[in-house]
Amino acid sequence: MSAAPDDTDHTDDPAAPAARARLLAETAALPSLPGVYRWLDAQGGVLYVGKARNLKKRVSSYLQKDHGGSRIGHMVSRIAKLETTVVRSEAEALLLENNLIKTLNPKFNILFRDDKSYPYLKVTGTPDTDAVAATAAQRFARVAYFRGAVDRRHRYFGPYPNAWAVKQTIQLVQKVFRLRTCEDTVFNHRSRPCLLYQIQRCSGPCVDLITAADYARDVRDAERFLLGDAQAVIDDLQAQMMGFAEALAFEEAAKVRDRIGSLSRVLHQQSVEANSLSAADRDVDILAVKVAGGRACVNLAMVRGSRHLGDRAYFPAHVDDGAALSEQDFEDRAEEDLAGPEVQHSPEVAVLEAFIAQHYIGQAVPPQLATSHRVSPELLEALGEAAGVKVRATHQPREQKRVWLEMAAKGAELALARLLAEEGSQQQRTRALIEALELEIDDPAQLRIECFDISHTAGEATQASCVVFEGHAMQSGQYRRFNIEGITGGDDYAAMRQVLTRRYAKLAEAVAHGRLDEAEAEGAAPAPGDEPGPAPKTPGRKRGLARLPDLVLVDGGRGQVAMAREVFQELGLDVSLIVGVEKGQGRKVGLEELVFADGREKVYLGHDSAALMLVAQIRDEAHRFAITGMRAKRASVRTGGSRLEDIPGVGPRKRARLLQRFGGVRGVASAGVDDLASVEGISKDLAEEIYRALH
């Protein structure tokens, strides 16, 4: 992957010597203390964020060495400003560095998406079964899938790499320990056991088929199993079985025997038995990295309680540039004798260290890491100090951890190969569309397509969507939804006129006055009542940044294209940008035809055309985004703009009483304050709060 052309190279700038002299003076005045430094370009964009134990020595190395035409030299030629922050320790520097990387998205750092929303297995309820104030649902704990902020009243196990791993574990807990999974509202209103009891996946606490003490014992056994003490659970169950047998309670002994058999089969299915690892090695993260084709993959496998829970692949951005800059930092650390003589720099090591630093900041770190490449002891020490635990990393693990590491390495290799294949396919589709439409674009990665779709239900809650394709990928951070108002319900043509006018009016004005750069910062900004898309998936892309697209797709035939042409003619924009995606005969997928606003004949690309596949992908994404927003808006309108679940003070029991009393959410929304206050458990103040929320 070669470096992009530099539009802000200062080597020939007359002011460059003065700027360099100023930077050298600032560097000379820096203290020899730990800190974080940030290189900025002339426009104020952040180029690189780094940390150092000795700020003065580290920062000066960039300016005093001749980097030539390397990637480091490419960055140094763009440096216009330096910012530094002095901290007290390496741990503080590590925290600040990675917080800044996530916030600023620097152009030369290896960047990982900040995706830490891991799922957990939650065990609810009150451990003290003798608590008089506890409800039945609280005394009988529930196991559930959980993702979000942790509540100290419950117990959590994990994290798990994906939802499938949590659900599989819940099934194991149901099969072996027969704990309930039903919601509290369902539990409190059962009059007979459900199907899970019939298939021996629940012990029926809802109808008192098990005592609270026995159920609590099963909960404790399940928690010990989740923590990795399965063998101790089996030993206790065997003791129980022998006790029942001695008391001639053979039916109870048989039940315990069956439970022991189920638990033994579960352990046998795992790749390692619970007693084959020491207690310190029962929670391990396995990290394997693979770099190829200018891309990288870090595969993270989680082991909790000696159980392999699965893995998840991460793909960073700026791999080549970030690896080159990290090599400079590595050389400086080696001169300071901080990197450790056994650590050898490579792109894999750079990616792995960047992942460890960015991933574990702000979340629990297991005491043991097994890595495919040796990482810096300095990094582990700073990470452990920041997390408050001692973190060890094993580069060449033995026995079972070695097997896990080999599995993770193979997973990283396969995931990276799949990514490269998908990116190659997407690039092929982009080039095919450029050729099919004869677009004058030299770099396919610069092709920008915006697609519009209208969605409503019989004229209700009309919304328009705009999705963006650029850089061979959908740019979800630039998506926009437009609330369509002031038109006749169901008039899709008027809706299309409104959304196109609102989208391109400022850009058209800027084009007419030669101020396109100014409009680029405003054109995608949502108008009042409009909704931005989700957070950007592409690191470094600023929300709100826009330019005139190379192609404007509208989901519709000649009618929608004619309306779009009128809007573009009124705004003074090029109508040749507009292409309609018209349904084929029988509205069958693969038979779509392209309709042009500039009078060209319709084009059928063929059902197996790579260009048509890209058009269909973008059109379908616009439809998905539009219909999702429309449904949310429709639900908001029908329920008064809120849901009972979102109102503070309205828990499951009060919500159930309200719904039962008024026959549903719409009935609750139409009720007055006095009617709401007449429901058991609803005070006058809470009734007023509910009324305000629903109106």
Whether the bond into 31 is cis, omega within 30 of 0:
no
For residues 361 and 30, which has the higher predicted lDDT (pLDDT)? 30
User: Taking the alpha carbons of 73, 75, 79, 83 in that order, is the dihedral positive or negative?
Assistant: negative
Span 482-531, pLDDT tens digits: 888 888 877 888 989 999 999 998 888 877 766 554 444 334 444 444 55
271 has a pLDDT exceeding 60: no
Evaluate if pTM is beyond 0.85: no
Span 307-355, pLDDT tens digits: 788 888 989 888 888 887 877 677 666 665 554 556 677 888 889 988 9
Q: Average pLDDT over the chain, rounded to whole?
A: 79
Average pLDDT over residues 609-616: 88
Question: Pick from 620, 637, 654: which residue ends a domain?
Answer: 637
Q: How far is CA 326 from CA 18, 51, 75, 352, in A?
A: 28, 11, 13, 11
Shared-domain flag, residues 603 and 683: no
What's residue 298's pLDDT? 93
363 has a pLDDT exceeding 80: no
Residue 93, domain member (yes or no): yes
What's residue 37's pLDDT? 92
Shared-domain flag, residues 610 and 690: no
Among 239-243, 411-415, 446-450, 586-590, whose mean pLDDT is lowest? 586-590
Average pLDDT over residues 199-214: 88
Shared-domain flag, residues 628 and 542: yes
Span 557-578, pLDDT tens digits: 888 899 999 999 998 898 899 9
11 has a pLDDT exceeding 70: no
Residue 146, domain member (yes or no): no
Measured over all CA atoms, what is the biggest interatomic distance in the chain, rounded to whole angstroms?
98
600 contacts: CB under 8 Å, gap ≥ 6: none
Report the helix count and the strand count for the chain, using DSSP H and E. Answer: 23, 19
Residue 80, domain member (yes or no): yes
**Which residue reads 């680029």 in tokens?**
520
Shared-domain flag, residues 393 and 540: no
> Of 322, 324, 564, 353, whose CA–CA distance to 466 is shortest?
564
Shared-domain flag, residues 629 and 650: no
Of the pLDDT bands very low, low, confident and very high (cuts 50, 70, 90), residue 671 is confident
What's residue 371's pLDDT? 92
Among 66-70, 90-94, 261-265, 473-477, whose mean pLDDT is lowest? 261-265
Span 77-100, pLDDT tens digits: 888 889 999 988 877 888 888 888
9 has a pLDDT exceeding 70: no
Span 538-547, pLDDT tens digits: 443 444 445 7
Residue 435, domain member (yes or no): no
In which element (H, E) is residue 91 found?
helix 90-104
Shared-domain flag, residues 27 and 81: yes
Residue 148, domain member (yes or no): no
What's residue 516's pLDDT? 55
For residues 267 and 216, which has the higher predicted lDDT (pLDDT)? 216
Of the pLDDT bands very low, low, confident and very high (cuts 50, 70, 90), residue 287 is very high
Q: How far apart are CA 294 and CA 530, in angstroms?
A: 38
266 has a pLDDT exceeding 60: no
What's residue 294's pLDDT? 83
Residue 181, domain member (yes or no): no
Among 108-122, 138-152, 486-500, 520-534, whose mean pLDDT is lowest? 520-534
Q: How far apart are CA 245 and CA 156, in angstroms?
A: 35
Shared-domain flag, residues 518 and 396: no
214 has a pLDDT exceeding 80: yes
What's residue 684's pLDDT? 86
**Which residue reads 């909790």 in tokens?**
304
For residues 133 and 605, which has the higher predicted lDDT (pLDDT)? 605
> Of 533, 534, 528, whose CA–CA distance to 502 is shortest?
528
Residue 202, domain member (yes or no): no
Structural domain boundaries enclosing 391? 282-417
Percent of the chain with pLDDT over 70: 81
Q: How far apart are CA 440 and CA 434, in angstroms?
A: 8
Of the pLDDT bands very low, low, confident and very high (cuts 50, 70, 90), residue 662 is confident
Of the pLDDT bands very low, low, confident and very high (cuts 50, 70, 90), residue 643 is low
Span 369-420, pLDDT tens digits: 999 998 888 888 888 887 778 888 888 888 888 888 999 999 999 999 888 8
Residue type, 267: L
What's residue 3's pLDDT? 41
Strand pairing class (480-483; 143-146) = unpaired
Of the pLDDT bands very low, low, confident and very high (cuts 50, 70, 90), residue 286 is very high
What's residue 563's pLDDT? 92
For residues 114 and 352, which has the higher predicted lDDT (pLDDT)? 352
> Of 175, 181, 171, whose CA–CA distance to 143 is shortest?
181
What's residue 500's pLDDT? 93
What's residue 579's pLDDT? 92
Could you give the angle at which helices 399-437 and 610-638 cross, rounded to 10 degrees? Answer: 100
What's residue 529's pLDDT? 47
Question: Pick from 104, 125, 149: which residue ends a domain?
Answer: 104
> Of 270, 257, 259, whose CA–CA distance to 218 is shortest?
259
Shared-domain flag, residues 578 and 668: no
What's residue 16's pLDDT? 61
Domain CATH number, residue 585: 3.30.420.340
Shared-domain flag, residues 655 and 564: no
Buried-state track 199-233, b at ≥16 Cβ within 10 A, e below 16: eebbbbbbeeebeeeebbbbbebbbbbbbbbbbeb
What's residue 539's pLDDT? 41
> Which residues does residue 455 pair with via DSSP β-bridges, in sequence order?
463
Residue 162, domain member (yes or no): no
Structurally, the chain folds into a number of domains equal to 4
What's residue 537's pLDDT? 45
Shared-domain flag, residues 394 and 474: no
Q: How far apart are CA 204 and CA 376, in angstroms?
A: 53
Residue type, 362: G
Shared-domain flag, residues 632 and 670: no
Q: How far apart are CA 424 and CA 422, in angstroms?
A: 5
Shared-domain flag, residues 297 and 352: yes
Percent of the chain with pLDDT over 90: 11
Average pLDDT over residues 178-204: 87
Question: Pick from 63, 80, 104: which residue ends a domain?
Answer: 104
Alpha helices, H only, 361-484: 377-387, 399-437
Question: What is the DSSP secondary structure assignment for residue 541, as one 8-state letter?
Answer: P
**Which residue reads 């100014």 in tokens?**
518
Average pLDDT over residues 459-488: 85
